[in-house]
Chain A
Amino acid sequence: MTGPATIFDRPNRYIGQPTPRADAARLLAGRGRFVDDIQLPRMVHAAFHRSPHAHARIVSVDVTAARAASGVLGVWTGAEMAALVTPYVGVLTHMAGLRSAPQHPLAVDVARWQGEPLVMIVARSRAEAEDAAELVEVDYEELPPACDATTALAKDAAVIHADFGSNLAWERKVDVGDIDAAFAQPGVQIVEREFRFGRHTGVTLESRGTVCEFDPSEGCLTMHYSGQAPHMMQVILSRLMSLPEENVRVISNDVGGSFGIKIHTYGDELAAAVAARALGRPVKFVADRMESFLTDIHARDHVVKARMGVTASGTIVGIDMHDLTGIGPFSMYPRTSAIECNQVLNLTGAPYTMQHYRAHGQVVFQNKNLMCQYRAVGHPIAMAVADGLLEDAARVIGMDPVELRRRNLMADDSYPRSSTAGMKLDDLSHQAALKKLCEIMDYDGLRAEQARLREQGIFRGIGFVSMVEVTNPSPMFYGIGGAPIASQDGATVRLDAGGALHVSSSITEQGQGTNGILAQIAAGVFGVDIDRVKVTTGDTGTVPYGGGTWASRGAGIGGEAMLLAAQALKEQVLDVAAVMLQSEPGLLDIRGGAVVDAATGAERMGLADLARTVYYRGNELPSDLKPELIATRHYRVTDFPFVFTNGAMAAHVEVDPETGFVKVLHFWAVEDCGRVINPMLVDEQVRGGVVQGIGGALYEECLYSDDGQLLNATMADYMVPMAAEMPEITVAHIETPTKTSFLGAKGAGEAGTGGAPAAILNAVNDALQPMGATIWQMPMTPERILKVLGKV
Chain B
Amino acid sequence: MKTKDISVIVNGEEVRASVPVRRNLVDFLRTDAGLTGSHVGCEHGVCGACTVEVNGATVRGCLMLAVQADGATVTTVEGFAASGRSAALAAAFTRRNALQCGFCTPGMLASALGYIDRGGTADRAAIREHISGNYCRCTGYQSIVEAICDVIEERTAP
Contact = CB atoms under 8 A, between A and B. Distances in A.
Interface stretch (B65-73, B124-132, B150-158): B124-132
A445 B134 CA distance: 35
A30 B37 contact: yes
A729 interface: yes
Given A24-B90, A257-B101, A724-B125, 14 more contacts: A18-B97, A24-B94, A28-B90, A28-B105, A32-B39, A127-B1, A205-B135, A510-B100, A511-B100, A512-B100, A684-B97, A684-B100, A690-B140, A723-B132
Interface string B97-108: 101111111100
Interface in A12-36: 18, 20-21, 23-32, 34, 36
B99 A688 contact: no
Residue of B34, B132, B142 ringed by the most chain A CB atoms within 10 A: B142
A692 B39 CA distance: 22
Contacts of A255: 101
A729 B119 CA distance: 27
A511 B143 contact: no
A26 to B, nearest CB: 8
Interface stretch (A350-358, A394-402, A713-721): A713-721
A256 interface: yes
A21 B143 CA distance: 14
B97 A203 contact: no
B22 A692 contact: no
Contacts of A684: 97, 100, 138-140, 142-143
B46 A716 contact: yes
Nearest to B127: A723
Interface string B25-40: 0000011001111111
B139 to A, nearest CB: 5
Nearest to A24: B94
A30 B47 contact: no
A68 to B, nearest CB: 16
B142 A720 contact: no
B140 A726 contact: yes
Interface string A700-726: 000000000000001110001011111
A691 B100 CA distance: 14
A699 to B, nearest CB: 12
A620 interface: no
B118 interface: no
Nearest to B131: A723
Interface string A226-257: 00000000000000000000000000001111
Interface residues of A, number: 63
A560 interface: no
17 contacts: A18-B97, A20-B95, A24-B90, A28-B93, A28-B105, A256-B103, A257-B138, A511-B102, A684-B139, A686-B140, A687-B139, A714-B44, A722-B135, A723-B131, A723-B136, A723-B145, A726-B141
Given A127-B20, A206-B103, A724-B129, A716 B44 contact: yes
B86 interface: yes
A71 B95 CA distance: 47
Contacts of B22: 127
Contacts of B1: 70-71, 127-128
The 7 closest A-B pairs by CB, nearest first: A30-B37, A687-B140, A27-B102, A511-B101, A256-B103, A511-B100, A30-B77
A511 B145 CA distance: 18
Contacts of B109: 28
B99 A27 contact: yes
A21 B103 contact: no
B49 interface: yes
A414 interface: no
Nearest to A27: B102
Interface in B112-129: 124-125, 127-129
A259 interface: yes
B37 A32 contact: yes
Nearest to B44: A714
A681 interface: yes
Given A28-B90, A723-B131, A257 B35 contact: no
B103 A205 contact: yes
A686 B132 CA distance: 20
A687 B94 contact: no
Contact of B136 (A205, A513, A680, A724): A205
A39 interface: yes
Contacts of A204: 101, 137
A32 B43 CA distance: 19
A263 to B, nearest CB: 15
B145 to A, nearest CB: 7
With a 10 A CB-CB cut-off, give which of A24, A30, A128, A207 has the most chain B CB atoms: A30
Contacts of A29: 37, 77-78, 81, 90
Contacts of A687: 139-143
Contacts of A25: 90, 94
B76 interface: yes
Interface in A675-691: 680-681, 683-688, 690-691
Interface residues of B, number: 62
A289 B34 CA distance: 22
Contacts of A256: 39, 101-103
B139 A203 contact: no
B144 interface: yes
Interface of A: 18, 20-21, 23-32, 34, 36-37, 39, 70-71, 125, 127-128, 202-207, 254-257, 259, 286, 288-289, 510-513, 680-681, 683-688, 690-692, 714-716, 720, 722-726, 728-729, 752
Contacts, number: 192
Contacts of A254: 101-103
A172 B23 CA distance: 52
A77 B36 CA distance: 33
Contacts of B57: none
Given A684-B139, A688-B138, A723-B131, A510 B101 contact: yes
A512 B77 CA distance: 22
A520 to B, nearest CB: 13
Most A Cβ at <10 Å: residue of B39, B95, B129: B39
B130 to A, nearest CB: 8
B137 A715 contact: no
B84 to A, nearest CB: 11
Contact of B140 (A681, A724, A729): A729
A671 to B, nearest CB: 13
Contacts of A512: 100
B81 to A, nearest CB: 4
A617 B75 CA distance: 52
B94 A205 contact: no
A24 B101 CA distance: 9
Given A28-B86, A205-B103, A256-B102, A720 B137 contact: yes
Given A31-B37, A715-B44, A723-B134, A23 B140 contact: no
A720 B46 CA distance: 10
Given A39-B31, A289-B42, A723 B144 contact: yes
A36 B46 CA distance: 19
A71 B1 CA distance: 10
Nearest to B87: A28
A720 B101 contact: no
B132 A722 contact: yes
A288 B41 contact: no
Nearest to A288: B43
A326 B46 CA distance: 29
A39 B134 CA distance: 26
A572 B44 CA distance: 56
Contacts of A26: 102
A203 B140 contact: no
Contacts of B133: 722
Nearest to A255: B101
Contacts of A128: 1
A71 to B, nearest CB: 8
Contact of A37 (B36, B97, B137): B36
A255 B132 CA distance: 23
B36 A20 contact: no
